[in-house]
Structures are given as structure tokens and as C-alpha cells.
Amino acid sequence: MCLAVPARVEELHEFDQATVEVGGVRSKVSLALLDGVEVGDFVIVHVGHAITRLDVEEAEKSLALFRELAEKLGESPDAIYPGVS
């Protein structure tokens, strides 16, 4: 199963690449599917590609839901998705 999660854009790189962060975990992703992404934006990342942009409020709601799900399952948030805690 694949999971798409909100991530904050930390750095922009050449060739439509960016470094994003989720809960302290940094990853390099492709921005090829989106235009106009800037540092500080939140994007939904799925299998290494930013597939949409979303506002801060929606990103925070989604991350809170991941934490809540983990708690209900009696797991660390990292068990549901690494870096969400």
C-alpha cells in the first residue's frame, strides 16, 4: 500500500527537484508535476513526486490525523508513517 503525505518544501534544486521534510525526516522529491512551488509550501508527496500543493491548515490537519490513527492503533506515529510524529 502506498501512502501520500503532506511535506514542507525546505529547499529547491535544479531539474525540478526539492528537499521536503515531514516530522524531521528529509527526502528529495520531484516537482515535475507542479508549477510555482516555493520554499515553505506544503505538497502532497506520493512515491517520490509532489502531486499537489495544499495550504498549511490542511497539511496540519492531515498530519494530526496520522498521529491520531497511530494512537488509536496503540502504535508510535512512526509505525504508521515514519517522520509524522
| pLDDT tens digits for range 50-72 | 999 999 999 889 888 878 887 88
Residue 81 dihedral angles phi and psi, to the nearest 5°: -155, 115
pLDDT at 70: 74
Q: Domain 5-80: state its class.
A: mainly beta
pLDDT at 2: 61
Q: How many CA atoms lie within 13 A of 18 on its CB side?
A: 28
CA distances in angstroms from 85 to 7, 35, 40, 64, listed in the order given: 13, 29, 19, 9
Domain locations in the chain? 5-80
Given a cut of 50, the residues of the chain with pLDDT beneath it are: 1, 80, 83-85
pLDDT at 84: 44
pLDDT at 19: 98
